[in-house]
Amino acid sequence: MDALPVDTTELIAGVVGTLLLLGLGIGLGLTRKRQAQLQAKQDQQRQAAATAQAEQLAKLTQENQKLTEALALAKPVVTALEQEVQTLNQANAKLTEDLKTQTLATQQREAELKQLRLQTKSVQAELTDQKNQNQILGDETAQLRHTRQTLVTDLEALSAQNQALSDQVKRLSSESQSLNDRLDTLTAEQQPLLDRATFLETQIQTLSDTIDALTHENQTLVSQVTHLDSKTQTLSQELETLAHTRQSLTQEVDRLKTEKKALTTELGHLQTQYQVLNEEAAGVSTQTQELTAQIANLELQNQRLEAELTQQTTLNQQLTTQVTDFESQCQALAAEAQQRRQQQQTLEADLAQAIAARVDWEADLERLTSTQTELEAALTEAQSLIAVGDASQQQAAEQIDALRQQVKILEIEKVELGEARQQAEVQAHQLQSEVEQLTAQQQRLENKIKQQQRQLEVSQSERQTQPELQQALQAAIAAQSDLETDLQAAQEHISDLQDQLVAQSDLETHLQAAQERISDLQDQLEQLTQAQTTHTEDWENAQQQLRDRNQQIQALTQSLAATQPIAEALREQVTELEAQVQQAVTQAKTLQKQVAGLTQEKKQLQQQVQQQERDRTCWQATQAELEQQQTQLAQDLQAQLQANDQIQQDLQAAQAQIPDLTAQIQTLTQEQAQRDSQRLVEDHRTLQTTQTQLAKLQAELDTLTAQQATLEHLQQANADLERQLQAQVNSQSSESSNATIAALEQQLQTQTQEKQALQDAMKLAKNMVVTLEQQIATLIQENQRLQAQATATSSIEAPAAPASPEESALTPPTLAAEPEVTEPEASPLVAEVPSQIFEGKSVVITGKLELISADRAKALIEAAGGQINAHASSKTSYIIVGKNPGNKLKKAEKHGVPQLTETQLLEMLGLTPD
């Protein structure tokens, strides 16, 4: 400022000489006009800048208000999302607890299944024992039938012999009457002989005495014959009663045959039901395999969920660290425009992923609904199966009651037969006493005839001259011959009666054996009733277990019903989250638009600043021109120093205002830059919050889908397990009812049928051995299958390491393959005993064993649950036959004990020799 007047004075000095006073006037007018124009321009520029800055401030305040409102709206959304994350974490914890409880329940159910399998094995063993006993009883009943037939034939022969005896008695009575007539004639003929032969009176007297004695004896014989007639009448009456009893017995036999036919038809129906139950058992075995596979899937999914939970926790930690990092990195604003574009693209990709996840989730929900319908259908099927089992159980109970009534009727008939047998024994004793009386009478008659013969010989020797006596003697001899023939017939009849007595003694022995067999059958019947009570108890236990399973099914259905509102709430939450995502996307778009507007405003402000700088440069140029003009006019305006001073003051004031204006412009630009940076930071923060919210929502959607998948698999596994248990309980109950019906039918057959020959029993025993070998082979196969399943379940229950979620989702879970066959150690036997196959069985060993020692065999049988006995009896389950068997084998064959060879024993134990 001090150099300016020097220059102006120089200029004025130069110009004063040329322009003089006229130039001063013109210069003053021009300077005033120019100053007025500059002031007007500066005022206009100031007003335009002030209005532009006011507009920018208003816009910035509006944008700040919008941003604060967006932040206020985003805060409750963030809090709601955090609460939803907490609720989802709680639900996840509940689901993990439910999974643990369900895994425990599945383990308990597997233990119950093992117990049920053991019970089925024991029931099958008992059924085999009952079948063996029933076959033995059938043989004995066949033998009883044969003895009954022989007794009937013997009774018919006795009746025929009784009829012949009655005919003989009648004939003897007629002959005794003729003898009496002849004796009367002889006495009539002897009286004239006595008159003629007086010297023979003494002899005639003796003969008359003997004749009187003979007549007396004859009368006694006649009385005895009459007594025999009365006895024959009683015998005929008893025979008629026996015939009536025989007719009643034949009627009862016919009735029993009809009942047997009805029972055979019922057995056919029961066999068809048994086949149906076997098919259902096969279905149950397939369901058990599917259940084990599903349990393995559940365990793998549980492990996967745990791994995903750990990953989510790590992700949450990483997100928190990323949030802090983002907050610390918010100051870097230079390269954020490009990052925003990239983030916008990632947001669009996340939106597409969220939409796809929503579609997947809806598909999972549809699958859940379909599985729920399938579960309901399975429940209805289970209820129908339970109803069918109850109906079959009721039918079995009715059949059991009918069979018991038939057993009672047979017992009454048995008592009646015993009474008839006692009556027959009494009649046999009476016949034996009568035969003894007849033998005594025969001996007395023989003695008397011998005496008469002696007397007749004496009389014949003394009175050879008497032809009439000779004729009488001849008649007596003829009568004697007739008596001898009668005696021979009586002796033959006595021998027949003795044969009948021998047959009766045989019959008594058969009856005693039958009574012993009946007592054995009664013991077996008591054992069967005890077994029936145990079966009924098992049936009741199975029903209780079934009720427990039904309660568990109801609880599962309730839990499923409880999970439905949770699923609906999750759906609502997902829809809300999607709406929030859309709002966030719209907010992001609005923010992008605001950012674009701010960038445009920034460009406009930059242009305005540039324009102001241009104006300032122009003003500076004009100022320089004015200074030059002032220097030029200084010489001319020396006279007007006051005006020049004023002009200088004005210039100084304008110069003083220039830094103020520049400072205002700088403050305005700085405020605008700070506002732009704050907006950018806030936009970045909002974008980060939206990104974190989207990531959280995506994670929550993933967890929800995983949880829904686990719930679906758990529900399917529970439903399959319930179906399997119910089918096993139904099959077990039907098998127990069939077993009781078969046992009662066998009791009926043992009561109705009779014994057969020992050869038939041997054939049946051989057939029984063949069937037992087949059953043993089937049991060995079933045991191997159960071992394979056990190894498969054990390999599934202890997995090596959880697979990745992508691999587990792509590759379906498979059951454990066939168990690897490991090379055995060097020992006499390749494998160990598989199971308790001889549990509750008694075993007898006879002969010398070649493949293994007797001590080794005993140890193996005891390890398999069996009991070694020294002697065979009716309660022996098996006899192992080696080389050179002793009397034990005969006794076992007598009792009908199933026989096993050494190789069959090793096959039953699941062992093979080297």
Over residues 453-483, the pLDDT tens digits come to 677 676 556 655 556 656 666 766 676 677 6
749: buried, middle or exposed (CB in 10 Å: 19+, 13-18, 0-12)? middle
Helix (H) or strand (E) holding 431, with range, is helix 336-462
**Averaged over 127-140, what is the pLDDT?**
76
pLDDT(34) > 50: yes
**Averaged over 92-113, what is the pLDDT?**
77
**Averaged over 213-233, what is the pLDDT?**
74
Structure tokens that stand for 37 in this block: 């124009």
In sequence order, which residues have a C-beta less than 8 Å from that of residue 280 and are 6 or more positions away?
727, 730, 731
For helices 201-328 and 336-462, give the axis angle rounded to 10 degrees. Answer: 180
Q: Are 420 and 503 in contact (CB under 8 A)?
A: no
More confident: 567 or 45: 45
| pTM > 0.85: yes or no | no
pLDDT(879) > 90: yes
Amino acid, res. 114: K
- Of the chain, the percentage scoring pLDDT greater than 70 comes to 60
pLDDT(426) > 90: no
More confident: 193 or 786: 786
Which string of DSSP letters, residue by residue, matches 91-160? HHHHHHHHHHHHHHHHHHHHHHHHHHHHHHHHHHHHHHHHHHHHHHHHHHHHHHHHHHHHHHHHHHHHHH
The whole-angstrom distance between residue 670's C-alpha and the CA centroid of its chain comes to 80
Tens of pLDDT, residues 300-343: 877 777 777 777 777 767 766 775 675 666 566 656 656 766 76
Amino acid, res. 184: D
The whole-angstrom distance between residue 38's C-alpha and the CA centroid of its chain comes to 105
| Report for 30-39, 203-212, 393-402: range of highest mean pLDDT | 30-39
More confident: 475 or 906: 906
Q: Are 882 and 848 in contact (CB under 8 A)?
A: yes
SS (H, E, C) 208-235: HHHHHHHHHHHHHHHHHHHHHHHHHHHH
In sequence order, which residues have a C-beta less than 8 Å from that of residue 898 and are 6 or more positions away?
132, 765, 768, 769, 772, 877, 878, 879
Q: How far is CA 734 from CA 288, 392, 401, 445, in A?
A: 19, 7, 17, 77
Q: Which of 397-406, 580-589, 802-811, 831-840 has the lowest mean pLDDT?
A: 802-811
The whole-angstrom distance between residue 355's C-alpha and the CA centroid of its chain comes to 42
Enumerate the domain spans of the chain. Answer: 3-756, 757-800+827-914
CA angle in degrees (0–180, nearest 5) for 514-517-523: 145
Residue 210, number of CB atoms within 10 A of its CB = 17
**Averaged over 190-199, what is the pLDDT?**
64
Reduced to 3 states (helix: H, G, I; strand: E, B; else coil), residue 848 is strand
Q: How many CA atoms lie within 13 A of 217 on its CB side?
A: 19
**Averaged over 773-778, what is the pLDDT?**
68
Q: Read off the pLDDT band of 843 (50, 70, 90).
A: very high
pLDDT(735) > 60: no
In sequence order, which residues have a C-beta less than 8 Å from that of residue 771 and are 6 or more positions away?
none
Q: Which of 241-250, 523-532, 635-644 has the lowest mean pLDDT?
A: 635-644
Supply the mean pLDDT for the chain.
71
Q: How long is the chain? A: 914
In sequence order, which residues have a C-beta less than 8 Å from that of residue 853 and are 6 or more positions away?
none
In sequence order, which residues have a C-beta less than 8 Å from that of residue 839 and are 6 or more positions away?
121, 122, 125, 864, 865, 866
**Averaged over 898-902, what is the pLDDT?**
91
pLDDT(110) > 80: no
SS (H, E, C) 151-195: HHHHHHHHHHHHHHHHHHHHHHHHHHHHHHHHHHHHHHHHHHHHH
Q: Read off the pLDDT band of 830 (50, 70, 90).
A: very low
More confident: 618 or 790: 618
- Tokens 């109705």 -> residue: 752
- Of the chain, the percentage scoring pLDDT greater than 90 comes to 2
CA distance 584 to 589: 8
Count the helix, strand and coil residues of the chain and give each as a percent rounded to the nearest 5: 90, 0, 10
Structure tokens that stand for 870 in this block: 């020294």
Residue 231, number of CB atoms within 10 A of its CB = 18
Q: Are 461 and 503 in contact (CB under 8 A)?
A: no
565: buried, middle or exposed (CB in 10 Å: 19+, 13-18, 0-12)? exposed
Q: Are 891 and 871 in contact (CB under 8 A)?
A: yes
What confidence score (pLDDT) does residue 807 get?
Answer: 35
Tens of pLDDT, residues 354-376: 677 677 777 777 777 777 677 77
Structure tokens that stand for 831 in this block: 């494998």
Which fold would CATH assign to domain 757-800+827-914?
Rossmann fold (3.40.50)
| Strand residues in 773-881 grouped as ranges (E) | 842-846, 867-869, 878-881
- Counts of helices then strands in the chain (DSSP H, E): 10, 4
Q: How far is CA 216 from CA 34, 76, 221, 759, in A?
A: 205, 144, 9, 60
Q: Read off the pLDDT band of 808 (50, 70, 90).
A: very low
Q: Are 804 and 300 in contact (CB under 8 A)?
A: no
The whole-angstrom distance between residue 415's C-alpha and the CA centroid of its chain comes to 48
Q: Read off the pLDDT band of 796 (50, 70, 90).
A: very low
For helices 467-634 and 336-462, give the axis angle rounded to 10 degrees. Answer: 180
pLDDT(619) > 70: yes
**Edge-to-edge strands of the sheet including 899-900?**
867-869, 842-846, 878-881, 899-900
Q: Are 909 and 869 in contact (CB under 8 A)?
A: no
pLDDT(690) > 70: no
Q: Which of 164-173, 575-584, 735-744 has the lowest mean pLDDT?
A: 735-744
What confidence score (pLDDT) does residue 282 get?
Answer: 72
Q: Are 738 and 509 in contact (CB under 8 A)?
A: no
pLDDT(157) > 50: yes
pLDDT(4) > 50: no
CA distance 663 to 675: 18
What confidence score (pLDDT) does residue 821 get?
Answer: 35
pLDDT(845) > 80: yes
What confidence score (pLDDT) does residue 898 get?
Answer: 92
What confidence score (pLDDT) does residue 880 get?
Answer: 92
